[in-house]
Amino acid sequence: MKELVRLEGVTKQFRNASVRAIDGISMVIDKGEFVVIRGPSGSGKSTLLNLIAGLTFPSEGTVYLDGEAPRGRERWAKIRAEKIGFIFQAFNLLPTLTALENVQVPMLGIIRNPRERKRRAHELLASVGLEHRMNHKPAELSGGECQRVAIARGLANSPLMILADEPTGNLDSTNSLAIMALIKRVYESGKRTIIAVTHDSIFTSCATRILFIRDGRLRERAPVGLEGH
């Protein structure tokens, strides 16, 4: 496999903080992996995901993505638009837009033809079972439906990698299972790299690798099926 993400000696210490949120992590994630990152609250999981996405920058060390060590906010913004899809715990949908319009947002500036943007958004919503709800706004959708819209939006630009931050954190057990199955299907159908930060043990069944983080450090790696403590 060809590597997609490499971290070399990455440390993140926020201003006015005595503790390092990420403490000297070195790791490699290959293209086509489904990596689940687990650990207790405050262990550095979301900070690690933000570093991989270039949403925050390391205090020390280097982040490589697809063979490049991007520099500066503009370069990272371009990479996120072209190569990274996001799925958030809080959905992060724009409340004044319909599902169809929300899915088109990442395409702005990437796909110039409005008809093509609409066609692709329609296709993606149909693929997550929301063809009949595409003209509804987030307030008119259930939590599970909002997360399906968010998954469709994350696929909008055919990204190399999808970063999921607690994708089932706001859902009940039934919807959590449905979203996990959908993310698994997205992974298997496109062989995209998926990195998911989650407390939810249901994701361990579809991971190719599970990483555990504690106090900003990768403490252990376990084979699929084992849970962190």
Residue 220 has pLDDT above 60, yes or no: no
**Is residue 228 in some structural domain?**
no
Q: By mean pLDDT, which of 139-143, 162-166, 185-189 is the weakest?
A: 185-189
On the question of pLDDT at 94 being above 80, the answer is yes
How distant is the alpha carbon of residue 132 from its chain centre?
Answer: 26
pLDDT above 60 (res 204): yes
How far apart (Å, rounded) are the C-alpha atoms in residues 34 and 141?
A: 28
For residues 185-200, give the mean pLDDT. 88
Radius of gyration of the chain (CA): 17
Q: Find the domain containing 180 and state its range.
A: 3-222
Structure confidence by residue, pLDDT tens digits, 104-142 = 999 998 898 999 999 999 999 999 999 999 999 999 999
Q: How many CB atoms lie within 10 A of CB 101?
A: 17
Cα of first residue to Cα of last residue in the chain, in angstroms, is 30
Cβ-based neighbour number of residue 68 at 10 Å: 10
pLDDT classification of 42: cutoffs 50, 70, 90: confident
Whether 227 is covered by a domain: the verdict is: no
Alpha-carbon distance of 26 to 172, in angstroms, equals 35
Q: How far is CA 115 from CA 33, 106, 111, 118, 121, in A?
A: 33, 15, 10, 5, 10
What was the pLDDT predicted at 16?
Answer: 77
Rounded to an integer, what distance in angstroms lies between the CA atom of residue 20 and that of residue 222? 24
CA dist 19 and 38 (Å) reads 20
Average pLDDT over residues 43-63: 94
State the CATH number of the domain containing residue 202.
3.40.50.300
pTM: 0.89
C-alpha closest to that of 165 among 228, 90, 55: 90
- Whether 229 maps to a domain, the answer reads no
| 37, 48 Cβ separation under 8 angstroms | yes
Task: Give the chain's domain count.
Answer: 1
Q: How high is the pLDDT of residue 200?
A: 80
In the DSSP assignment, the letter for residue 54 is T
The pLDDT of residue 21:
92
- Which DSSP state fits 41? T
- How many angstroms separate the CA atoms of 16 and 35, rounded? 31
Residue 185 to residues 90, 163, 188, 189, 192, Cα–Cα distance (Å): 21, 15, 5, 6, 11
* Interatomic CA distance for residues 196 and 203, integer angstroms: 8
